[in-house]
Amino acid sequence: MKASIIGATGYAGVELVRLLACHPQVEIATITSESSTGENLAAMYPHLSQRIEQNLESMEQIQDIAAHSDVIFIALPHGHAMKIAKVLHDSPVKIVDLGGDYRFHDTKVFEQWYKVKHEDPDAKAVYGLTELYREQVAKAKLVANPGCYTTCSILALVPLFQAKLIETTNVIVDAKSGTTGAGRSLKAGSMYCQVNENFHAYGVATHRHTPEIEQIYSEFAQEEVIIQFTPHLLPADRGILATCYANLKPGVTAQEINVAYHAMYDGEYFIRLRGQGVCPEIKHVRASNYVDIGWQLDYRTNRIIAMSALDNLVKGAAGQAVQNMNVMFGLEEQAGLKQLPIYP
């Protein structure tokens, strides 16, 4: 198969290159960058030397790129993918969008939180959290790859919403991300002197992943779920840790919680249930497509504290995109993604 990456020089884009270069059934066809057109990607990222000696192209001829591709990954900020996918409506190429353009059932929610008019509201996109929507992804032409905070937070509590073991009110998601989650463009808030030996919250009560998490929670709870979501910036390159608090329904036992997690995730290759009393760590999932989930019950406050950890560039972006591609094309779901985490 031939895969092309639109926006190959961002952190998620170059991580896609790394993963696809090791995929046994994929050839990288075209890689693009509007700011670095004509440059060799390995010159920009020496870790790819002698493996990806490929020049970056412009996406101006997107229809030609699509004609020579089986799948296109769009690794660009929000607002770009909807323009590209709209042009390619009639093309047989399949698309995985790593941005936020197609993640919402209601485009008005996108417009409200992203402050951009949606230019492709009639697109039939599937939300690409593979563990939850595998059957839909398998039939999809356009997949919306979930956000990194979103994937981590959703997987932590969805089994309990589905089993109706937790209340749908007063849900709190407290999450932390490595600095690569802020992207590669220069920003004062992600400079070394700002991040090193520092730790702070941002986007309080306004972060765009909030309605995305609520959308999936509500779907599995079968009623509206409103959350308090607060992200934080870690002085680390990679990783997301989400600590999620929810009130238990009366009489819920530890055994029922354990059964709910295993009922949903047993057999899921990339989800590692660490169990009650275990606190996952971002170092244990680094550079892998795994998600580690642990939990603890606090009967004093009548809450469950569910904790999940993943690599924001792999399961939170590029790895999940490759996982979706595998399902879309009927390949082994783990193909190109079996790497163990690196440690330390």
Q: What is the DSSP string of 120-185?
A: -TT---EE--HHHHHHHHHT-SEEEPPPHHHHHHHHHHHHHHHTT-B-SSSEEEEEEE-GGGG-SS
Q: Could you tell me the pLDDT band of residue 109, with boundaries at 50, 70 and 90?
A: very high
Assess whether pLDDT exceeds 80 at residue 189. Answer: no
Mean pLDDT of 19-46: 97
Point out the least confidently predicted range of 81-85, 111-115, 128-132, 190-194.
190-194
Mean pLDDT of 130-148: 97
What is the secondary structure of 111-124 as a DSSP string? HHHH-S--S-TT--
Cross-strand bridge partners of residue 298: 303
Q: Could you tell me the pLDDT band of residue 192, with boundaries at 50, 70 and 90?
A: confident
- Quick one: pLDDT at residue 199? 94
Q: Could you tell me the pLDDT band of residue 37, with boundaries at 50, 70 and 90?
A: very high
Assess whether pLDDT exceeds 80 at residue 287. Answer: yes
Mean pLDDT of 17-21: 98
Assess whether pLDDT exceeds 90 at residue 191. Answer: no
Instruction: List strand residue ranges (DSSP E) for 183-330, in order.
Output: 200-201, 227-233, 240-247, 271-276, 291-298, 303-310
Q: Which residues are known catalytic residues?
A: 148
Is the CB of residue 323 less than 8 Å from the CB of residue 23? no
Mean pLDDT of 96-100: 98
For 221-277, write each residue's pLDDT tens digit.
999 999 999 999 999 999 999 999 999 999 999 999 999 999 999 999 999 999 999
Burial of 53 (0-12, 13-18, 19+ CB in 10 A): exposed
Indicate the fold that domain 2-123 takes in CATH.
Rossmann fold (3.40.50)
Q: Please tell me if the domain spanning 2-123 has the same topology as the one spanning 149-312.
A: no
Q: Could you tell me the pLDDT band of residue 187, with boundaries at 50, 70 and 90?
A: confident
* Closest by Cα among 340, 164, 136, 121 to 251: 164
- Quick one: pLDDT at residue 172? 98
- Quick one: pLDDT at residue 31? 98
For 317-327, write each residue's pLDDT tens digit.
999 999 999 99
Q: Kind and range of the H or E element at 74? A: strand 71-74
* Closest by Cα among 134, 109, 91, 52 to 320: 134
- Quick one: pLDDT at residue 184? 75
Q: Kind and range of the H or E element at 94? A: strand 94-97
Q: Could you tell me the pLDDT band of residue 59, with boundaries at 50, 70 and 90?
A: very high
- Quick one: pLDDT at residue 181? 85
Ordered by start, the domain boundaries in the chain are 2-123, 149-312
Q: What's the rounded Cα separation, in Å, for the pair 227 and 158? A: 13
Which CATH code fits 149-312?
3.30.360.10
3-class secondary structure for 1-64? CEEEEECCCCHHHHHHHHHHCCCCCCEEEEEECCCCCCCEHHHHCHHHCCCCCCECECCCCHHH
- Quick one: pLDDT at residue 299? 94
* Closest by Cα among 8, 327, 325, 320 to 138: 327
The tokens describing 69, both together, are: 């591709």
Assess whether pLDDT exceeds 80 at residue 12. Answer: yes
Q: What's the rounded Cα separation, in Å, for the pair 307 and 294? A: 5
Assess whether pLDDT exceeds 90 at residue 54. Answer: yes
- Quick one: pLDDT at residue 335? 98
